[in-house]
Structure formats: C-alpha cells, structure tokens
C-alpha cells in the first residue's frame, strides 16, 4: 500500500518535471532564426528554388503555460541548490531560467551562468534529452551552430530512445532545424520543422514555419503561422513579447508601419522594457520622421542591452540628426560590446562585419570578419555580408556571385536587394541597378535609416 509520503513525493516530482518542460518550451520558442541557402546553382534573378517550406494547416494552437517570473525562479533555485548541488533537475531548471533571463534582458553574462549549471547537470545526467536540448539552445544563442546541431541531434536521439514527451522531442527537433538553417541546409531544416509540427503544433513550430515561408519570399503567407504563434504564447510574457516583435517585423517588411508599431507596443505591454521592442519602435519613429523619439527609444534599448545591432542603429540615428560627436562615441562603444559578448562565448563576426562595412571602418578587418562569419554560418546572411564587404572594397565582380547566392531562395529582404543593386551599379549595370533599387523600395521604403535615402536617389 502506498503511503502519504510516497504520494506527496510523486506529486512533487510531477510538478518539477512539468516546470522543466514549461521552461524548455520557452527556451525553444524564442530561439533566434536567420537565413540560409538550398542548392549550389546560383539564381541571379533572386527567384526561389523549388523547395517547399513546412506546411501550416488548421492545427489549433496549444494552450499556453502559466506565466513565470524568471528572476524569481532563479533566486528560488539558487537557494535550493545551496543545500543540494547533486540535484540534476534543479540544475537544469536553473540553466534554462538563465537562458530565459538572457533573452529578457540581453545580458550575455547569463549565457556563461547557464553554461556552468547545465554542464553540472550534464555530468550528473548525461543521457537527459532536456539537458542536451538546453545546451543546444545555448549554442544557438552564442552563434555556435555546428555545436548546436550536434547537441540537438543527441537530444533527439535520447528523447526518442527514452520515450520522452512529444513536447520535448518537438523542441529538440527545433534546435536541430535552427542549426541547419544557419548552416544553409534548408531541405533538412524544413524537414525538422515538419517533425515539430507533427509532434506538437504549438508556438515553437508555428514560429519556425513562419520563418521558413519568409525565407522563401512568401512574406504575406508567413503572417498566419506567426499570428498563431502569438496566440499560442498568450499568458507567457517573454514568449508573447518575442512573437509579437516577430509579427511586427513581418508587417514592417510589408511596409505596414502602423501594424508593426501595434505589435511592438503589444510586446512592451507584455514585457515592459523589452529591448527588442524598443529597438523596433526606434525604427518606426525614424520612418515617421520623429528623430528625437527614435533616438530616445534606441538609447533606452542600449541602456539595458548594448547589443551591436542596437548601437549600429543609434549611430545612424545620431548621424542623421547631426549629432556626430555622440555618434563617434557609439563607435567606440562597439569595441567594448564585442569584447563583452566574446567573454561570454558569443560570436559576433557577422554583426561587426556588417556595421564596419556600412561605415567604412577598417575595411580589411571587415572583410576578414565577413569571411570568418560565412565559414561559421554559410547562410543567406553570411553570403550577403561577404558580398557587401567585397563590394565596399571595390571588388564588385567578386561580390556578385555571393549576392546571387544570398538571393537564391527568393528571400525578399530589402537590405539584400539593396546590396545587389549597389553591386550592379558598381559593375556599370545601371539599368539592372535601378530595377533592384525599385524592388527594394517597393517592399519597404524605410528599410534602412542609413541606406533608404541612397536607394531613393539611385532608383531614378
């Protein structure tokens, strides 16, 4: 006969496992996705190759888990672990909570903390698919995509062999798919996202289907699954804020500035001070000609999370406002940010290469960084930044194949189209260049604080 103590212990274990899965869901749902390539043959017109994105059907979004305060959870787990450092489940929970806190705040030191406690959990429970998946998500956040692929595959294998819950298996496939996207292996990546949809058609899968459609240039079709992701995240502040910003960016890419702004404000309502929403609102205000408000939003974002892309935007805003001394100080800040991120295991070669190339800072180093970034992430982003770095060095014939490669999926990213226009112009193909600039502006006339005026000037 089972005694009351045994029943209570089983109940506590069930609650802890549920909390593990809830945090794992939050980690997987908020993974950042970038672009990639599919085949080896370049397509100079930028049309999509014949590869299907994962399907998005009529599946009902899963009910969202209760909202959780990551900071409070971290304090509780830290206290518990002071008395028992051999509790693998608590260590895993703490590592996942650190990852969530890193996303909420933009503070990269949480990545190092997550790495430490997840390493302890791995030593205690080396066959835990959740630990492997958590380490995979951490590798993605640090832009270490080959490590993420290896960890994700191990999580999938362990989850399958152990009969792990479908939700955990789905999220492990998400780590695999995200890594494959970054490594340019799109057929396999979309297959991983399809597995996610079959296992658990929820927030994480919807967001990835949306991004797959966006990669293939189907931006309007990407809206429905991202709206479903927003609905599925309701009640969880950080996932709701993240999905709202992603939906806003889709609207922005379609030139629907007011709809984008509404989503960014929704994100701030869900998670006050959310830095990615502040950054996005700065771009909206700049598009409306409200320079002072744009600068204020970007400064608020940087005060919380001095990320390279935020600083790059602020530099352009300050320069446009004639505040060049302040802009120069932001240039200097970029070096300190790069060192801070590197100290916490985050690779930033791509972002730094793009920033320096845009502003003609150390062109030789920028080209070296762009080459290194493309080796790490042979994606449409890696191809595009390398093409741009070559073009800004005057090596436009060398740049053209990389630009063609960056557009082979049919991705309708205005910045990539603009770069292509600049390369064609550099090569003396003025009619082709004007056509690319017009396509760029037709997608979003406010695509870049720095480059939109240039595109307008060269489009005529």
Residues contacting 151, CB < 8 A, separation 6+: 132, 133, 135, 136, 139, 175
Q: For residue 212, what pLDDT is reported?
A: 95
Q: Parse the chain into domains and list their residue ranges.
A: 21-31+70-200, 201-272, 290-347, 350-460
**Residue 121 contacts residue 92 (beta carbons within 8 Å):** yes
pLDDT in tens, 406-456: 999 999 999 999 999 999 999 999 999 999 999 999 999 999 999 999 999
CB-based contacts of 355: which residues, under 8 Å, 6+ apart?
A: 308, 311, 312, 315, 334, 361
The CATH architecture annotation of domain 350-460 reads Alpha Horseshoe (1.25)
End-to-end CA distance of the chain: 85
CATH of domain 21-31+70-200: 1.25.40.10
Q: With b meaning 16 or more CB within 10 Å and e meaning fewer, what string describes 113-144?
A: bbbebbebbbebbeebbbbbbbbbbbbbbbbb
Residue ranges of the chain whose pLDDT lies below 70 = 1-68
The answer for residues whose C-beta is within 8 angstroms of residue 417's C-beta and 6 or more apart is: 46, 407, 436, 439, 440, 443
pLDDT, residue 68, reads: 59
CA distances from 14 to 4, 11, 18, 133, 231 (A): 15, 5, 6, 20, 27
User: Contact at 8 Å (CB) between 381 and 35?
Assistant: yes
Name which of 84, 122, 90 is nearest 23 in CA terms.
90
* Tens-digit pLDDT profile for residues 175-224: 999 999 999 999 999 999 999 999 999 999 999 999 999 999 998 999 99
Please give the structure tokens belonging to residue 441: 């502006």
Nearest to 411 by CA among 190, 113, 212: 212
| Residue 296 confidence (pLDDT) | 97
Q: If one looks up domain 201-272 in CATH, what number appears?
A: 1.25.40.10
For 66, which DSSP code?
P
Report whether 268 contacts 277 (CB < 8 A).
Answer: yes
Which pLDDT score is estimated for 234? 73
Task: Give the number of residues written for the chain.
Answer: 460
Q: What are phi and psi of 412, to 5 degrees?
A: -105, 65
For 163, the token pair is 């009969």
Residue 56 pLDDT:
42
Give the distance from CA 71 to its chain's centroid: 22
d(CA 384, CA 68): 39
Rounded to an integer, what distance in angstroms lies between the CA atom of residue 310 and that of residue 294?
Answer: 12
- Annotate 223-251 with DSSP letters as a single string: HHHHHHHHHHHTT-HHHHHHHHHHHHHHH
Q: Cα–Cα distance between 2 and 324 in angstroms, integer?
A: 74
> What is the value of pTM for the model shown?
0.83
Rounded-to-integer distance, Cα 255 and Cα 317, Å: 20
Largest CA distance in the chain: 86
Asked if residue 101 lies in contact with residue 127, where contact means CB atoms within 8 angstroms, the answer is no
């Amino acid at each position: 006969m089972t005694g009351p103590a045994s029943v209570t212990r089983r109940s506590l274990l069930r609650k802890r496992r549920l909390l593990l899965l809830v945090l794992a869901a939050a980690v997987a749902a908020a993974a950042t996705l970038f672009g990639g390539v599919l085949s080896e043959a370049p397509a100079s017109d930028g049309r999509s190759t014949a590869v299907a994105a994962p399907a998005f059907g009529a599946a009902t979004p899963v009910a969202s888990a209760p909202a959780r305060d990551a900071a409070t959870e971290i304090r509780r787990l830290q206290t518990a672990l002071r008395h028992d450092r051999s509790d693998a489940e608590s260590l895993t929970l703490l590592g996942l909570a650190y990852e969530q806190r890193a996303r909420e705040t933009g503070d990269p030191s949480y990545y190092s903390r997550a790495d430490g406690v997840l390493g302890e959990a791995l030593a205690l429970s080396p066959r835990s698919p959740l630990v492997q998946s958590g380490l995979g998500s951490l590798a993605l956040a640090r832009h270490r995509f080959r490590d993420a692929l290896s960890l994700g595959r191990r999580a999938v294998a362990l989850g399958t062999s152990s009969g792990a819950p479908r939700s955990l298996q789905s999220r492990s496939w998400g780590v695999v798919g995200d890594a494959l996207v970054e490594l340019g292996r799109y057929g396999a990546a979309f297959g991983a996202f399809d597995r996610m949809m079959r296992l658990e058609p929820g927030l994480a899968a919807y967001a990835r289907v949306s991004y797959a459609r966006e990669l293939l240039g189907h931006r309007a079709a990407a809206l429905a699954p991202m709206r479903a992701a927003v609905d599925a995240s309701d009640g969880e502040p950080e996932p709701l804020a993240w999905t709202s910003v992603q939906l806003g960016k889709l609207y922005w890419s379609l030139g629907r500035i007011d709809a984008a702004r509404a989503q960014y404000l929704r994100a701030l309502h869900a998670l006050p001070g959310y830095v990615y929403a502040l950054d996005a609102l700065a771009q909206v205000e700049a598009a409306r000609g409200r320079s002072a408000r744009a600068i204020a939003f970007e400064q608020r974002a940087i005060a919380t999370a001095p990320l390279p892309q935020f600083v790059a935007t602020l530099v352009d805003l300050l320069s446009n406002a004639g505040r060049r001394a302040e802009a120069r100080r932001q240039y200097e800040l970029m070096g300190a940010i790069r060192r801070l991120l590197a100290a916490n295991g985050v690779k930033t070669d791509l972002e730094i290469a793009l920033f320096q190339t845009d502003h003609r800072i150390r062109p030789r180093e920028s080209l070296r960084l762009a080459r290194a970034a493309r080796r790490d992430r042979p994606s449409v982003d890696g191809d595009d930044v390398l093409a741009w770095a070559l073009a800004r060095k005057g090596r436009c014939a060398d740049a053209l194949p990389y630009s063609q490669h960056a557009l082979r999926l049919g991705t309708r990213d205005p910045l990539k189209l603009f770069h292509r226009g600049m390369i064609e112009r550099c090569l003396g193909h003025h009619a082709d260049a004007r056509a690319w600039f017009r396509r760029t502006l037709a997608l979003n006339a406010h695509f870049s604080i720095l480059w939109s005026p240039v595109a307008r000037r060269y489009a005529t």
